[in-house]
Structure 1
């Protein structure tokens, strides 16, 4: 059983000195062993691809997240079948295999209900899958799939639904079926909750557990966690607490009237994280209840990368920053207050994520965080392993260098099987990871993983035999917008740092000036590893989001003909109604009292929708909660047949430019207006286009309490065409 938490750094769990309660993680650690030098890639898809396959992420086309794929080999966004996942191999050796939760290794263009399915988990070695294919999801209204079928959550948020609980419920159900039908057959389960990735969604009672606990801010939190981690022996006594980057705000820099907002964001995140750990505990309980506990090898990995600073200055809608739209904290606070105040954070009405200062604190004692591949904190995550039948509990952490590529070869080693030369008729690429099976039994066993490169969006490093050379790269992920001059950036001009990690646990002392020959050797080693693993061009993951956002993965179509019952069409393959000039023509037969959603794209955290309210046609553009534009007709729709047309055109032809919206009915203009700012990329990572209802997060507050607010009439057809 592999339990993988998302976007969570080592400074969060109380297991290692943090202040988020993680009883299950502590339980696994106390019943087994912990690794305090386990490493990830600093980003979601790359870590998952490497962890499941045993190969380096660029070599299998995962140099960045799947949604930002481009034509370079290392960034193609698709795991080749020549690098079969460990689950595929174990399945061939008689294992039942199942995956739950976040996948994020299927090209975005392939995530619709018609596939193709060859890159879905159920066609990649996992006989059963329940979860979401994208990088994140609303915890209340996720776009879910079971195997290759789109499914709706079993209940609503008002009825108590939460995704982490649902994933645990389904995994427990699978285990019980396995026990009933195939009790003697071995199994492999991969359970990857969407927590602690944004949006940070959790019920109020969980967030309230942490009320007041973070009032003194992230700098003070970091000091406390560092002292406890050192006192517990999780980090060495001579470890040094690294300083805050000058581009990251100190807690004292935050205006007093903004601090309640920033504190509550962290309280919500902490409650979210504890809740996920409790769900993981339900799985461990079930193993024991079914009699599998003694001989099940449990990997509990706290984070696929460090804590995420993508919330930047703190946000009520985390895709706002991803779209590069500038905003101010007063704007976020006003939007929050308009919806009910601090208690709206964590609810279905918000897509909040904490300030990057909390992510930095969550990565204590290191410099980095998610997306920083050059420094620990982005790439060093705790791992606990429990295997009562084979592993003797040991409170002293294992400090050998271990990497996420090592999980698969370790499993092969423990099972006594060889890495197959051919899988499903396809010759296989070599495994990059090395087994750490010997370390499970012997705390003094030598690490076999001597060299490892890291690279995410130009941030990069090379580890070799206790040393690490690091180049921070062109951008700090917590700084809003793009850095000046990034269009002219070249990796040749980056400054490299050098650290002797065997003597400097946290990269606190840069030896580049003192050891120029060693640094030159390390840089040369990075160049060789980069060439061997298809890393070039360095920074290739920046090509789409920074240089060519217009080339992001999207549908090749420019015209669509929909019937009125099309639902759950992922935004990545749906018409880009919010950032392309387009014309939507709806043929409808209105009911006696017409009302309901004609169509909706996106979710509560951002999107657009056209609906009928008390007979009037309403268009709303929800710009990530901080700005809502609503255009409402004065005339009401009469019962009977009508043709409704919504035309969108750019007033300024640039990404994010203002839009003109015109609503016509039966050839007559009924309403028009201007959307001042548009979303240049997309509204959501996992929500969809729905016709005739809004099954995801309610885009408009006007029908929030009536969602999914189905249209009362008949929609005969919807025709969409791009205007240019």
Structure 2
């Protein structure tokens, strides 16, 4: 190379004369990776259990992931935190979830260092580390690592993907999203999906297209520049959305039920050597109905829900195959270090009976078997936000017990595959070294010959808390380097140390045995003392892989040792205080970018306001007032929040003013004006007057009287007896002038953007000071009947 280069920040090595004829140029050297540095690809599946991939013994077809396992290594002793955001923070930082402030998901953060949902900048991301070594860095898919109050257009953007070392981003910032109407962000701005469901849109295909494009864009210009791609599907998290052609491939295959599934998968796992010889299948879970005890309707419904899940997983594997083939065809796969992991065990958030609307779970609203049966023909399509019953989650975590959100191995032991043809000689072998998600970052750094940086962008870095398992790549008998690992999720605690595992379940080993459903029990100091005295179980998992033989009574000294170790780890990693798990955590007050206010002003053509920063109208008297200048044929949404799973919408249709309150997808409460909206400037208003108190245990928000006004005249009113108590939406925020994703109401098709006039602004007032006098208005509305 004829150019003379020098490291940036060092002395200029050229010559400076009075003219360029007497001078010699030199250039600051571009940042380049080491020659031959491998690409790094993390594939993070969501809510996928130990017994759900084909290569882990499942009857669900996952040929592309199976091929990775056959050409690489399958780990049977990888662990996560039992929940999504906490695990993802471990995957990207190499630090424990409480060290990252991620005790839970960001939407339930509380004001303690280990629980505030704010990953400190001293805990650098792998993307930040590799960007400093000449890598392109891409994030595609689910993020869920930004404080929920910081995901709006107001930012700050420092904790969005582009603020944490990723150069490109395409995906969704929250915990889940509709697979047909996703809440998408491209780099730092929201975008709409490129197609509609009717045109064949599905999020997984879109994400893979973007990932392929990001890599190809750079490789055509700099083919030797390596990349780090963090690829996170929305699958297999609810909603279980997949075209019928995929779910129908599994018709009849789950009619035997979850007990039969477990037995089949368990036998296959033993045959494949995934489980040590002599492993026992964990007990039938007390919370799960015996399949034979179910009615034929229930069996038919639950089997269909599992068919949809299976089709969803195979569909996801198919599109992951497209990503892998693109790397193979371009010659990149050979030198790409691929790690595939699930963020936690299979999810029980569908509840006992399954759900056609997961928002019900987060609002504590009971499911209806009749409603679920009526929806069965549409499961997997865009009309529902469906999830299978927790019997399938239990089965999906075969051979372990329990599920996501709990620290038994069913929640924390997850599929993990490593594939790197150029760096790993072994093919199709199983590894049993103890690993945790915090070990992925140090292993990648070890493979690349890179030290964790002492500082990133001027911020001194904390020590990486995981350890490398690179030694296991070539040596199946290499000793486990990860000796101790604590667990805590929703006060459910566990600790592993050198082949022993102690577990302290809360509220108990099952809800049935505890006689307390999730979120009902209070975690007090007295309860903690009782649990520490009598609530811990002990398993010698080196010999009892599936936690079937509690030896706490026989090995009392070992149990006391492990309980003490748990408290040492808890002190080291900011685990305390333990906080009572409750759905009410979703509605806690948290720091906002602007001071608390009672008046929110929204204008058309602006970005959606996410749930946590939108006007909070739940369980409050409030008004929604739109200033419009109406022309002939004016129609469309003035303001809406939510989607088909629940929400509200104020809109004009057929010259009438309408308001719809969609209660968790079950029922629409619809107000329609008795008169036309007049031409010219008008004030259009909806008012909600509380008439009662919320009943959170029953899953109902405060009832009220809804009324519509046009230029001060009452034109419609009705009771709205049921409202959402805790959450309006799972991802679809508040929008002005259109319905951004799925439609709140069946009265129109999205986006139903306002047209035929000018929408100036919409004001949401929660002060209660701007209500009309109902006595005066009663005579007005009666005169119009």
The alignment's TM-score, normalised by the length of structure 1, stands at 0.95
2:114 is matched with 74
The 5-angstrom pairing of residues 61-460 of structure 1 reads 61-301=101-341, 303-312=342-351, 313-334=353-374, 336=375, 342-373=376-407, 375-460=408-493
1:545 is matched with 583
Select which of 511, 521, 530 maps to 1:493. Answer: 530
The 5-angstrom pairing of residues 479-628 of structure 1 reads 482=518, 485-486=521-522, 490-494=527-531, 495-538=535-578, 540=579, 542=581, 545-546=583-584, 549-551=587-589, 556-628=596-668
Select which of 51, 59, 65 maps to 2:99. Answer: 59
1:718 is matched with 762
CA distance in 1, matches of 2:249, 2:609: 37
CA distance in 2, matches of 1:569, 1:483: 28
Do the aligned partners of residues 68 and 475 (structure 1) sit closer, same or farther apart at CA in structure 2, a change above 3 Å counting?
Answer: farther
Do the aligned partners of residues 293 and 331 (structure 1) sit closer, same or farther apart at CA in structure 2, a change above 3 Å counting?
Answer: closer
How far apart are residue 693 of structure 1 and its match?
Answer: 1.4
Q: Which has the higher contact order (CA 8 A, sep 6+)?
A: 1
Q: Contact (CA 8 Å) 1:324, 1:481: kept in 2 or not?
A: no
Q: Contact (CA 8 Å) 2:108, 2:585: kept in 1 or not?
A: no
Do the aligned partners of residues 485 and 23 (structure 1) sit closer, same or farther apart at CA in structure 2, a change above 3 Å counting?
Answer: closer
CA distance in 2, matches of 1:484, 1:106: 28
How far apart are residue 391 of structure 1 and its match?
Answer: 0.7
How far apart are residue 394 of structure 1 and its match?
Answer: 3.3
2:671 is matched with 631
Do the aligned partners of residues 243 and 71 (structure 1) sit closer, same or farther apart at CA in structure 2, a change above 3 Å counting?
Answer: same
How far apart are residue 476 of structure 1 and its match?
Answer: 7.8
How far apart are residue 404 of structure 1 and its match?
Answer: 0.3
Structure 1 unmatched runs, 5+: 337-341
1:391-434 per-residue CA deviation (whole Å, 9 max, x = no partner) reads 12333310010100000001111111222222211111111100
Do the aligned partners of residues 484 and 583 (structure 1) sit closer, same or farther apart at CA in structure 2, a change above 3 Å counting?
Answer: closer
1:91-125 per-residue CA deviation (whole Å, 9 max, x = no partner) reads 10111111100000000111012210010111101
CA distance in 1, matches of 2:733, 2:288: 34
Moved more, 552-561 or 158-167: 552-561
Moved more, 436-445 or 248-257: 248-257
Q: Contact (CA 8 Å) 1:30, 1:393: kept in 2 or not?
A: no
Q: How many residues align structurally? A: 713
How far apart are residue 659 of structure 1 and its match?
Answer: 2.3
CA distance in 1, matches of 2:320, 2:429: 23
CA distance in 2, matches of 1:32, 1:237: 22
After superposition, the CA RMSD in angstroms is 1.9
Do the aligned partners of residues 550 and 404 (structure 1) sit closer, same or farther apart at CA in structure 2, a change above 3 Å counting?
Answer: closer
Do the aligned partners of residues 288 and 548 (structure 1) sit closer, same or farther apart at CA in structure 2, a change above 3 Å counting?
Answer: closer
- What secondary structure, in the 3-state scheme, does the structure 2 residue paired with 1:294 have? helix
How far apart are residue 215 of structure 1 and its match?
Answer: 1.1
How far apart are residue 254 of structure 1 and its match?
Answer: 2.6
1:339 is matched with none
Q: Contact (CA 8 Å) 1:66, 1:108: kept in 2 or not?
A: yes
Structure 2 unmatched runs, 5+: 1-40, 769-785
How far apart are residue 550 of structure 1 and its match?
Answer: 4.0
- What secondary structure, in the 3-state scheme, does the structure 1 residue paired with 2:444 have? helix
CA distance in 2, matches of 1:578, 1:664: 21
CA distance in 2, matches of 1:35, 1:245: 26
1:24-45 per-residue CA deviation (whole Å, 9 max, x = no partner) reads 1101001111101011100010
Select which of 82, 85, 107 maps to 1:45. Answer: 85
How far apart are residue 343 of structure 1 and its match?
Answer: 2.5
Do the aligned partners of residues 23 and 300 (structure 1) sit closer, same or farther apart at CA in structure 2, a change above 3 Å counting?
Answer: same
Do the aligned partners of residues 673 and 81 (structure 1) sit closer, same or farther apart at CA in structure 2, a change above 3 Å counting?
Answer: same
How far apart are residue 707 of structure 1 and its match?
Answer: 4.2
- What secondary structure, in the 3-state scheme, does the structure 1 residue paired with 2:205 have? helix
- What secondary structure, in the 3-state scheme, does the structure 2 residue paired with 1:75 have? coil
CA distance in 1, matches of 2:280, 2:445: 37
Moved more, 644-653 or 100-109: 644-653
Q: Contact (CA 8 Å) 2:285, 2:510: kept in 1 or not?
A: no
Q: Contact (CA 8 Å) 2:634, 2:754: kept in 1 or not?
A: no
Do the aligned partners of residues 673 and 482 (structure 1) sit closer, same or farther apart at CA in structure 2, a change above 3 Å counting?
Answer: farther
The alignment's TM-score, normalised by the length of structure 2, stands at 0.88
Moved more, 559-568 or 690-699: 559-568
Moved more, 471-480 or 433-442: 471-480
1:657-694 per-residue CA deviation (whole Å, 9 max, x = no partner) reads 21221111111111111222211111222111111211
Moved more, 684-693 or 36-45: 684-693
Q: Contact (CA 8 Å) 2:511, 2:518: kept in 1 or not?
A: no
